Amino acid sequence: MAKESGKKWVLMVTAQTPTNIAVIKYWGKRDEKLILPINDSISVTLDPSHLCTTTSVAVSPDFTHDRMWLNGKEISLSGGRYQNCLRELRARASEVEDEEKGIKITKKDWEKLHVHVASYNNFPTAAGLASSAAGFACLVFSLAKLMNVKEDQSKLSAIARQGSGSACRSLYGGFVKWIMGKEKDGSDSVAVQLADENHWDDLVIIIAVVSSRQKETSSTSGMLETVETSMLIQHRAKEVVPKRIIQMEEAIKNRDFPSFARLSCADSNQFHAVCLDTSPPIFYMNDTSHRIISCVEKWNHFEGTPQVAYTFDAGPNAVLISHNRETAALLLQRLLFHFPPNSNTDLNRYLSQSGICTDSNV
Ligand code: ADP
Ligand code: DP6
Ligand code: CO
């Protein structure tokens, strides 16, 4: 394992991965273990200089078991999702040699070696800003580098999917589609890039953090309850989303902002409607979220054509997409007017996002 026996060594890789926000949402699984969805979804990957996860992974013969720290606190890796990702990656690990440090790890060594993981999200965790997406994408990407896994992005996206469904889309920058796939083993349920980060770089994304508190219902349990109890979800997955996917791909290809905005807003609203149709109902948005929607809807109606698109994931925080910098500046002005920073609303912070992002990088 190490050339000079008895000498301690640690090999480490650090990677950064951005989050992604779905404009056509994934909500509902047909296979809980493999994480296979009931519909395709499309997302925008954010610029990694803003909302992202940074993960360091390390291996050493001195580590006695796998351990992970999330935002400075140790968490258990016993959950199936972490184990599934680790197992898939270990099975594909290959030889690593660092001549300078005198380290050689063979394929066989990886079966016995343990890893330590330290991950940090620079934005609220479990608050509806897709921390599981950036988190698992970064975990898989950094471990794949450390273990010298020789698989393409598509295969890595399928492994990240087994950590959290939305994570498969964060392996790519720009606009990304997660194809639900047909195979029982999930081999064709992968993410593909529809357009890279330069395709539509006029877009400006503003994240309005309404509340950074951890949500009461995780995405995983929320969508399971929806599939079990909602009558609307099957109609959404089978009738509505397939048409919207085609229209959204077309809107992105043509940089057609009005269609992009109408589809994004409609899909966000339908996703929250199926949450309400769940028994017991799930409320991810709050009064401030509803006020933001009204504000954007009134503005778009007044102008006669959409200026800003909104979308809300499984949480109260708003993701607002404007079609250029001037509109983004006006949007910020309006938000600050309606939600002044010192007022007693809980809209506490604005993070401006310029453009869309690049691929993950080490
Ligand atoms: P979100 O809306 O933030 O994605 P979810 O309920 O989908 O919320 O997922 C939150 C869970 O994702 C966390 O409880 C944790 O298990 C996992 N997670 C979040 N960040 C990371 C990370 N950086 N690395 C690994 N797992 C993470
Ligand atoms: C509303 O990917 O977090 O953000 O697969 O159970 O980990 P699990 O769920 P997750 O769900 C994301 C739901 C969503 C929409 C989306 O990102 O497409
Ligand atoms: Co999530």
Angle CA 225–227–232, to nearest 5:
115
Ligand 1 midpoint to CA 79 (Å): 12
Task: Check residue 62 and give left, alpha or beta (phi > 0: left; psi -120 to 50: alpha).
Answer: alpha
Nearest bound ligand to the CA of residue 125: 1
Is the bond leading into 280 cis (omega within 30 degrees of zero)? Answer: yes
Instruction: Indicate the pLDDT class of residue 7, thresholds 50, 70 and 90.
Output: low
CB of 267 closer than 6 angstroms to any ligand 2 atom: no
Q: How far apart are CA 89 and CA 159, in angstroms?
A: 8
Q: How many CA atoms lie within 13 A of 111 on its CB side?
A: 3
Please write the tens of the pLDDT for every residue from 225-245.
Answer: 999 999 999 999 999 999 999
Q: Is the ipTM of this complex over 0.90?
A: yes
CB of 71 closer than 6 angstroms to any ligand 1 atom: no
Q: Report which protein residue has its CA nearest ligand 2's atom 14.
A: 313
Please write the tens of the pLDDT for every residue from 42-61.
Answer: 999 998 888 999 999 999 99
| Residue 21 Cα: closest atom of ligand 2 | 17
Q: What is the pLDDT of residue 1?
A: 64
Please write the tens of the pLDDT for every residue from 56-94.
Answer: 999 999 999 999 999 999 999 997 999 999 999 999 999
Please write the tens of the pLDDT for every residue from 154-208.
Answer: 999 999 999 999 999 999 999 999 999 999 999 999 999 999 999 999 999 999 9
Rg (C-alpha) for the chain, rounded Å, is 21
CB 263 within 8 A of CB 247: yes
Q: What is the pLDDT of residue 275?
A: 98
Ligand 1 midpoint to CA 21 (Å): 14
pLDDT at 354 over 80: no
CB 167 within 8 A of CB 82: no
Chain-centre distance for alpha carbon 3: 40
Q: Report which protein residue has its CA nearest ligand 1's atom 22.
A: 135
CB 51 within 8 A of CB 122: yes
pTM, two decimals, is: 0.93
Q: Report which protein residue has its CA nearest ligand 1's atom 8.
A: 126
User: Which residues lie closer than 8 Å to 215 by C-beta, 6 or more apart?
Assistant: 126, 127, 128, 284, 314, 315
Q: For residue 52, give both structure tokens.
A: 């992202």
